[in-house]
C-alpha cells in the first residue's frame, strides 16, 4: 500500500526537462556514486541519468538481500530531484541476471518465503511503476526473474550475441509464473505469444527476442551503454509530466491488480512453494547446479 502514491497521476513528481544533446563539457560533469554489496549506482547530475550496475556474482541471482538493496536504490533515485532516468545493467560478463535465487525458496520457513516474495513484488513495483525513464541494457543471459526485471523497464536493449537468451522459463523448473509476471509479458509481446512462452518456458535467443518484441533493439556488446544513453536522451527530450501521465495511464491497471491482491499473492506463493513436490523439484535443480560447478 505504500506504493499507491507513486502511481497515481496526482502524485507524479515532474522534474525540469533537460536534453542530453545540450550537455556541458566533460570538465563540468558532476557524478555521484554510491554502492552496496550487490550493485553500484552512479548518477550524473548534469544529465539526470543514473546507471545501476548489478554485481552479485556469479550470476546476479535475485536473493532477498539483493532485492532489498535494489528497491532501496530505486527509491533513493525516485526521490532525487536531479534524477530523471535509470539504466539497469550488469557488471558480470555474459549475464544480466539469472533470476530468483532458488536458495531463498528451498528448505526455508513460510515466514522467510513470504518475506522473500514480498521483496520480489517490491522490486517489480519500484521498476514497473517508476516515474523515471527506465532502460534495461541487457548485456548477457536473462532468464526468469531477470527477464521480468527487463520487461518492467520502458525500453530494452540487448547484446547481439546468439549465446544470450531471455524469457520466463519457470515451468521448466516446475514453478508457475504468477499473474503479474504474465500480465507484464502480455503487455510487451501480446496474449498469444505470452501463452505460448509461459506454457513451454521458452528461452528466446537475442534475434528471436527482437522478432517477437521482447526486446526493442539489438546492438554489439561494446555499444550497449553508449546506445542506452543515446536512447535515454530521446526519452528525456519529452516533457516529464506528459510522459509520466501517459505511462501511468498504460500501467496503472496492472499495478493496481497486484496492489489489490498483494497479500493473497504472497500466501499463494508460500503455499505453492512449500509443497513437497515443488521442494523436491527445487532440490533436484540445486543438485544439478552443484554437479555443473564440480
103: nearest Cα among 66, 78, 50: 66
pLDDT number for residue 13:
52
Question: For the ranges 17-31, 68-82, 198-212, which has the lowest average pLDDT?
Answer: 17-31
Q: Measured between alpha carbons, how far is 101 from 124 in angstroms, rounded to an integer?
A: 16
Q: Is the pLDDT of residue 285 over 70?
A: yes
pLDDT score at 291? 82
The tens digit of pLDDT for each residue in 6-21 reads 444 334 555 544 333 3
pLDDT value at position 173? 82
Confidence band, pLDDT 50/70/90 cuts, at residue 65: very high
Concatenated DSSP letters of 266-279: HHHHHHHHTSHHHH
d(CA 72, CA 64): 12
- Catalytic site residues? 100, 145, 169-170
Q: What is the mean predicted confidence (pLDDT) over 202-214?
A: 96
Peptide bond between residue 58 and the one before it cis (omega within 30 degrees of 0) = yes
Indicate whether 233 pLDDT > 70.
Answer: yes
Contacts of 115 (CB under 8 A, 6+ apart): 64
End-to-end CA distance of the chain: 45
Per DSSP, the three-state class of 66 is helix
The tens digit of pLDDT for each residue in 125-179 reads 999 999 999 999 999 999 999 999 999 999 999 999 999 999 999 998 888 899 9
The ranges assigned to domains in the chain are 31-293
Cell numbers representing residue 183 in the block = 500480465
pLDDT reading at 75 higher than 90? yes
pLDDT at 42 > cutoff 60: yes
Which residue bears the cell 526519452? 235
Residue 260, CB half-sphere, CA atoms under 13 Å: how many?
A: 8
Mean pLDDT of the chain: 89
Output the pLDDT for position 7. 40
- Span 235-282, pLDDT tens digits: 999 999 999 999 999 999 999 999 999 999 999 999 999 999 889 988
What is the residue whose three cell numbers read 550493485? 39
Residue 14 has a pLDDT of 52
* Helix boundaries (H) for the chain: 4-7, 64-79, 110-128, 145-151, 179-189, 191-200, 206-211, 224-236, 240-260, 262-273, 276-293
Please name the fold of domain 31-293.
Answer: 2-enoyl-CoA Hydratase; Chain A, domain 1 (3.90.226)
| pLDDT band at 24; cut points 50, 70, 90 | very low
DSSP track, 200-265: HT--EEHHHHHHTTSSSEEE-GGGHHHHHHHHHHHHHTS-HHHHHHHHHHHHHHHHHHHHHTHHHH
Distance between CA atoms of residues 2 and 6, nearest Å: 8
Q: What percent of the chain has pLDDT over 70?
A: 90
C-alpha separations of 24 from 17, 27, 29, 47, 229 in Å: 15, 8, 7, 9, 16
Q: Exposed, middle or buried: residue 187 (CB in 10 Å: 0-12, 13-18, 19+)?
A: middle
Amino acid at each position: 500500500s505504500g506504493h499507491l502514491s507513486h502511481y497515481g497521476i496526482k502524485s507524479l513528481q515532474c522534474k525540469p526537462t533537460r536534453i542530453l544533446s545540450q550537455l556541458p563539457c566533460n570538465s563540468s560533469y558532476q557524478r555521484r556514486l554510491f554502492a552496496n554489496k550487490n550493485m553500484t549506482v552512479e548518477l550524473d547530475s548534469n544529465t539526470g541519468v543514473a546507471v545501476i550496475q548489478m554485481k552479485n556474482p556469479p550470476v546476479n541471482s535475485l536473493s532477498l538481500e539483493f532485492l532489498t538493496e535494489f528497491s532501496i536504490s530505486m527509491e533513493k533515485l525516485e526521490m532525487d530531484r536531479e534524477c530523471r532516468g535509470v539504466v539497469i545493467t550488469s557488471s558480470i560478463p555474459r549475464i544480466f541476471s539469472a533470476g530468483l535465487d532458488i536458495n531463498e525458496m528451498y528448505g526455508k520457513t513460510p515466514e522467510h518465503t513470504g518475506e522473500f516474495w514480498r521483496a520480489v513484488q517490491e522490486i517489480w513495483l519500484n521498476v514497473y511503476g517508476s516515474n523515471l525513464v527506465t532502460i534495461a541494457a541487457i548485456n548477457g543471459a536473462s532468464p526468469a526473474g531477470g527477464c521480468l526485471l527487463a520487461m518492467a523497464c520502458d525500453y530494452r536493449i540487448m547484446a547481439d550475441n546468439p549465446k544470450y537468451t531471455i524469457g520466463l522459463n519457470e515451468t521448466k523448473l516446475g514453478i508457475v509464473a504468477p499473474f503479474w509476471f504474465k500480465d507484464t509479458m502480455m503487455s510487451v509481446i501480446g496474449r498469444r505469444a505470452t501463452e505460448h512462452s509461459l506454457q513451454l518456458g521458452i528461452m528466446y535467443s537475442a534475434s528471436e527476442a527482437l522478432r517477437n518484441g521482447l526486446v526493442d533493439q539489438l546492438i554489439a556488446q561494446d555499444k550497449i551503454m553508449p546506445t542506452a544513453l543515446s536512447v535515454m536522451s530521446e526519452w528525456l527530450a519529452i516533457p516529464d509530466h506528459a510522459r509520466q501521465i501517459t505511462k501511468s495511464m498504460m500501467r496503472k491497471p496492472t499495478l493496481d491488480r497486484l496492489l489489490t491482491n498483494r497479500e493473497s499473492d504472497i500466501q499463494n506463493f508460500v503455499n505453492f512453494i512449500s509443497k513437497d513436490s515443488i521442494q523436491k523439484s527445487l532440490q533436484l535443480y540445486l543438485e544439478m547446479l552443484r554437479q555443473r560447478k564440480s
